[in-house]
């Protein structure tokens, strides 16, 4: 059977036609005025996206590169940091910090749960020498959304910097950097920004810039003060991924033309659609009260082979989704619904999951789960997530 292919992974995500056309434009030179003009436009839009008055640095790397740049630019070997560790990407923070020679205190959080802000505060109280807190906004491996705003409130008045991995959150769920007092916010191109992989973005608060200026750069490539100086001139420190910046110019137009509130309303509604549909299928979302807005992790029935479910969904129904990592391998399916994904794509994902489960046994076909999912979507658009105006639908 010939099916339209639908990419419903937690990244990379589908590319809008406007972005694809922008990526296909002829090459221009990254040190000339034509490119500097594009960078100027992009900077203004990035500041709106990040919710910051400071510069947002484009880096030629993946999101992990931006995580590395943050750690190596804000902390010296021997500094003590707290890592919130509730999944594979919390573990990545720990590994990067260890590679820099930092002394790491891990705040262990059960996979599928969010960190408690009071636990972060208690850890900081127990060790006033901690120089930073490293946390995910969205822990992509589990589908959990950590309460970053509340963590930031508990950190007010302390020396420790709040460094946030927003790779699966920026452009997906709210994380206004300046309002929430985030010291470092970073993201990658292949998630909510609707671009190919290869570009990362990072912004610092004024006090984080002071720290970066006083820290000896940990590597030649990631030198954030020098990168900032070049961005302010409409350039980058090293060779620029020109086409990705041109594509970013187009993708930011899509995100901002109806306002970020509309983007968040759509993302919230898609999340409600998938979670309600999964429950109607008799499945449990893996993340409980604190769940991501750009992906939903669904726990599979005991004994069902997750890899085979994904294979059937992709091969027979054209829907590409992701499985679990590490201890969750074969146990969950991660359905991505961030960026250029709409309600029809999300319904197709639920249908393909249902068919994959039927093909692998241990599961009886659910009824009316698609109708339940759409009812939840419509209701979510009516009420909103509580931080955006109702009826702010965006059709992607």
Instruction: Give 82-129 pLDDT, tens digit per residue.
Output: 999 999 999 999 999 999 999 999 999 999 999 999 999 999 999 999
pLDDT value for 366: 80
Does the domain spanning 259-383 belong to CATH 2.60.120.560? Answer: no
Domain extents in the chain:
17-256, 259-383
With the CA atoms of 373, 378, 381 and 382 taken in that order, what torsion angle do they form, in degrees rounded to the nearest 10? -140
| pTM reported for the whole predicted model | 0.95
Tokens of 196: 């190919």
pLDDT tens, position by position, 273-299:
999 999 999 999 999 999 999 999 999
pLDDT tens, position by position, 147-158:
999 999 999 999
pLDDT value for 361: 86
- Tell me the CATH architecture of domain 17-256: 3-Layer(aba) Sandwich (3.40)
- Among 145, 150, 166, residue whose Cα is nearest residue 66: 166
pLDDT value for 302: 92
Taking 50 as the pLDDT cut, the residues of the chain under it are 387-396
Q: Which residue has the tokens 């137009």?
A: 253
**Cβ atoms 74, 211 nearer than 8 A:** yes
Q: How far, in Å, are 110, 189, 266 from residue 298 at the CA level?
A: 16, 25, 20
Strand pairing partners for 297? Answer: 334
pLDDT value for 357: 95
Q: Which residue has the tokens 């992509």?
A: 140
Helix ranges (H only) for the chain are: 17-23, 33-50, 63-74, 88-99, 117-126, 148-154, 177-180, 206-214, 224-231, 242-256, 260-280, 306-317, 343-360, 369-383
pLDDT value for 150: 98
Same fold, 17-256 and 259-383: no
pLDDT value for 251: 98
pLDDT value for 389: 35
Return d(Cα 217, Cα 220) in angstroms, integer.
7
């Amino acid at each position: 059977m010939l099916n339209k292919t639908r990419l419903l992974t937690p990244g990379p995500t589908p590319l809008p036609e406007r972005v694809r056309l922008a990526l296909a434009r002829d090459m221009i030179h990254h040190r000339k005025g034509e490119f500097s003009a594009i960078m100027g436009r992009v900077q203004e839009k990035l500041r709106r996206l990040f919710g910051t008055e400071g510069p947002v640095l484009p880096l030629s790397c993946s999101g992990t590169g931006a995580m590395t740049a943050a750690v190596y630019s804000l902390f010296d070997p021997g500094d003590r940091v707290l890592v919130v560790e509730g999944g594979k990407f919390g573990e990545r923070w720990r590994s990067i910090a260890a590679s820099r020679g930092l002394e790491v205190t891990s705040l262990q959080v059960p996979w599928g749960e969010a960190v408690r802000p009071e636990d972060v505060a208690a850890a900081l109280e127990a060790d006033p020498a901690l120089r930073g807190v490293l946390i995910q906004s969205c822990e992509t491996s589990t589908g959990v959304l950590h309460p970053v705003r509340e963590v930031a409130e508990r950190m007010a008045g302390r020396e420790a910097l709040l460094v946030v991995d927003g790779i699966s959150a920026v452009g997906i769920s709210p994380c206004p950097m300046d309002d929430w007092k985030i010291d470092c916010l970073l993201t990658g191109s292949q998630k909510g920004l609707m671009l190919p992989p290869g570009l990362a973005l990072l912004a610092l608060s004024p006090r984080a810039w002071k720290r970066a200026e006083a820290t000896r750069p940990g590597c030649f490539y990631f030198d954030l003060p020098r990168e900032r100086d070049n961005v302010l001139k409409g350039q980058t420190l090293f060779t620029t991924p020109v086409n990705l910046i041109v594509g970013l110019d187009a993708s930011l137009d899509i995100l901002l033309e109806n306002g970020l509130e509309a983007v968040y309303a759509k993302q919230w509604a898609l999340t409600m659609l998938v979670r309600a549909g999964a429950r109607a299928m008799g499945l449990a979302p893996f993340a409980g009260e604190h769940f991501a807005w750009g992906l939903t992790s669904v726990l599979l029935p005991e004994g069902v082979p997750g890899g085979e479910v994904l294979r059937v969904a992709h091969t027979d129904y054209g829907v590409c989704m992701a499985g679990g990592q590490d201890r969750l391998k074969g146990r969950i399916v991660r359905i991505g619904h961030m960026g250029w994904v709409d309600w029809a794509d999300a319904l197709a994902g639920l249908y393909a999951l249902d068919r994959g489960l039927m093909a692998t046994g241990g599961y009886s076909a659910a009824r009316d789960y698609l109708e339940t999912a759409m009812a939840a979507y419509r209701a979510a658009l009516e009420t909103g997530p509580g931080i955006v105006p109702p009826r702010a639908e965006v059709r992607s």
